[in-house]
Amino acid sequence: MNGINQVSSPVYLWPAYGRNYTSMEAMVADWKAGRDFRIGRYGPYISIRDLEQLKQDASTIWLETYSLLFRVA
């Protein structure tokens, strides 16, 4: 960094392997259980184990499906 407080963009994590959720509780439970999600709909795989590193690079982190959105950090 150049001394200016730079904030990156939010990151949206989508369920991996074609999973979709009908309830927020199920999506958050899978996140907490370490299930894989993807950065964006087609990006690399990531899980809760990668959260601390991801928080260094993102302003906010969201779990998202076609009908649900939940803020993780």
How much helix, strand and coil, in percent to the nearest 5, is found in the chain? Answer: 25, 25, 50
Please choose, from the candidates 32, 26, 19, the residue with its C-alpha nearest in 3D space to the C-alpha of residue 66. 19
Q: What tokens does 42 get?
A: 């087609």
- CA terminus-to-terminus distance, the chain: 22
Section 8-12 average pLDDT: 88
**Number of neighbouring beta carbons within 10 Å of residue 43:** 13
State residue 6's pLDDT score: 46
pLDDT, tens digit, 9 for 90 and up, residues 12-46: 999 999 999 989 999 999 999 999 999 998 999 99
Q: 67 falls in which pLDDT band (50, 70, 90)?
A: confident
pTM over 0.85: no
